Homo-oligomer: A and B are copies of this chain.
Amino acid sequence: MADSEVLPSLAGDPVAVEALLRAVFGVVVDEAIQKGTSASQKVCEWKEPEELKQLLDLELRSQGESQEQILERCRTVIRYSVKTGHPRFFNQLFSGLDPHALAGRIITESLNTSQYTYEIAPVFVLMEEEVLRKLRALVGWSSGDGIFCPGGSISNMYAVNLARYQRYPDCKQRGLRTLPPLALFTSKECHYSIQKGAAFLGLGTDSVRVVKADERGKMVPEDLERQIGMAEAEGAVPFLVSATSGTTVLGAFDPLEAIADVCQRHGLWLHVDAAWGGSVLLSQTHRHLLDGIQRADSVAWNPHKLLAAGLQCSALLLQDTSNLLKRCHGSQASYLFQQDKFYDVALDTGDKVVQCGRRVDCLKLWLMWKAQGDQGLERRIDQAFALARYLVEEIKKREGLELVMEPEFVNVCFWFVPPSLRGKQDSPDYHERLSKVAPVLKERMVKEGSMMIGYQPHGTRGNFFRVVVANPALTCADMDFLLNELERLGQDL
């Protein structure tokens, strides 16, 4: 068939549209979902960038391609992509493939609407409200506000912007120039988005005062108090503390009660970056890690991480009931938020955000939650903790594996000490040599496609592995595999 005749009419030809989509969906089920989550398949098929460019034939040309060519392209894209739902993908704070969440995402994509008005997103405006209400209830709030943002970094930025607006409403119109220098506080273990956000919002990274963390990675409240005093002595105005529930590397939880006390004494906005750890609130057994979170003014929580809802699903939750979000971000665009509509325009939530069009991020979480119930999700969290504990105990049993510390969350951090370095801790170049091990093993595992684990240096510590136990399909056998595979890959080092 001649491409130029047939293809452009696809959009108006329901039979051809259905045939194409069914064929693509077949490829997705076989290649991405079945093979992509099977331990007998590779987690990735590594190619050097130049070779991959050739394989993908990325160039966009003048002529369109046949359906057969397009299907082959779909297969190629999936083949060389990393399978983040694979049981051997431990590389990021997200992993696993929840089928109900994926179902919600496919429906979201097929409906392709924007979350800004009730008019074009009636179901999702109401659903977002209900999902946010549920998340707030888990935080411990019976009222409040909130919104889904494109990722935790932007949720954190929103919190900073809201806190400064609440203190200085004029800054929306007049900007920061007329304000005193502002200071916000977070620990050295915080996510880098706090620094990025301070720069983006015009505060500058200097406005971020870095509070000490203890050896477990938790913010030291006494140092927070001290830093606030120092900032004030320098003429700056403290306005916000960002505590972290589940730090990125160590998985540490800041002591929220003590931090909330400090905030209360000084009249500061307490933001909790619970992007990673927020989902622990679902577990009766482990939610004590976040004790005090109900005293926060705002919470960032990413169900796309531990709950596997799918990128992106990041909620900013607020205790505020004074319409702060809309007052801070609103601009009343008359073409979108007409006040003479035939329904209650309070349902048009689009003016709460700095975006205009905004993706629907609630359905995937809602559908998964409906299927699992609180109980199913709680079991997942508890299971992740239990498997992380299993991994820790196995690490302790084996020679050549050294824990960075006892984890309190599902980030398990450890060194693989290769045979040639075992028992040589006192050698002067031990740490330097040990630091080079993780990058070598990472290269080997990726090139073999057998698994993916992240590594990083941290403070004065050299490179160590961080295994994130989050995929709900994991079992003890996967933990065993992981350690065996490290030993196999590193036996000659």
Residue ID in chain B nearest A436 by CB atoms: B340
A166 contacts partner chain B, Cβ-Cβ < 8 Å:
no
Question: Given A52-B122, A80-B122, A473-B12, A62 and B455 touching (CB < 8 A)?
Answer: no
**Are the CB atoms of B106 and A52 closer together than 8 Å?**
no
A433 contacts partner chain B, Cβ-Cβ < 8 Å:
no
Measured CA separation A103–B100 after assembly (Å): 19
| Cross-interface CB contact of A370 among B70, B152, B310, cutoff 8 Å | B70
**Are the CB atoms of A204 and B171 closer together than 8 Å?**
yes
Interface size class of A (residues with CB under 8 A): 35 or more
**Are the CB atoms of A48 and B7 closer together than 8 Å?**
no
A213 contacts partner chain B, Cβ-Cβ < 8 Å:
no
A18-55 vs B, CB cutoff 8 Å, 1 = contact: the mask equals 10111011001100111011100000101111001100
Question: Given A10-B99, A92-B120, A154-B354, A106 and B342 touching (CB < 8 A)?
Answer: no
Residue ID in chain B nearest A314 by CB atoms: B357
A111-138 at interface with B (beta carbon < 8 Å) = 111-114, 118-124, 126-127, 130-131, 134
The segment out of A188-196, A256-264, A386-394, A415-423 that lies at the interface is A188-196
A181 contacts partner chain B, Cβ-Cβ < 8 Å:
yes
B contact residues around A64 at 8 Å (CB): 370-373, 375-376
Question: Given A77-B123, A120-B452, A354-B154, A21 and B102 touching (CB < 8 A)?
Answer: yes
B contact residues around A405 at 8 Å (CB): none
**Are the CB atoms of A205 and B172 closer together than 8 Å?**
yes
A365-390 vs B, CB cutoff 8 Å, 1 = contact: the mask equals 01101111111100110000000000
What is the total number of copies of this protein in its complex? Answer: 2
A219 to chain B, nearest CB (A): 18
Question: Given A11-B473, A130-B60, A356-B193, A73 and B333 touching (CB < 8 A)?
Answer: no
Measured CA separation A124–B84 after assembly (Å): 14
A310 to chain B, nearest CB (A): 5
A177 contacts partner chain B, Cβ-Cβ < 8 Å:
yes
The segment out of A290-298, A315-323, A424-432, A439-447 that lies at the interface is A439-447
Measured CA separation A335–B459 after assembly (Å): 11
**Are the CB atoms of B373 and A61 closer together than 8 Å?**
yes
**Are the CB atoms of A150 and B110 closer together than 8 Å?**
no
**Are the CB atoms of B81 and A371 closer together than 8 Å?**
no
List the 6 closest pairs (A to B, CB-CB), nearest first: A202-B202, A175-B204, A150-B150, A64-B373, A342-B443, A335-B456
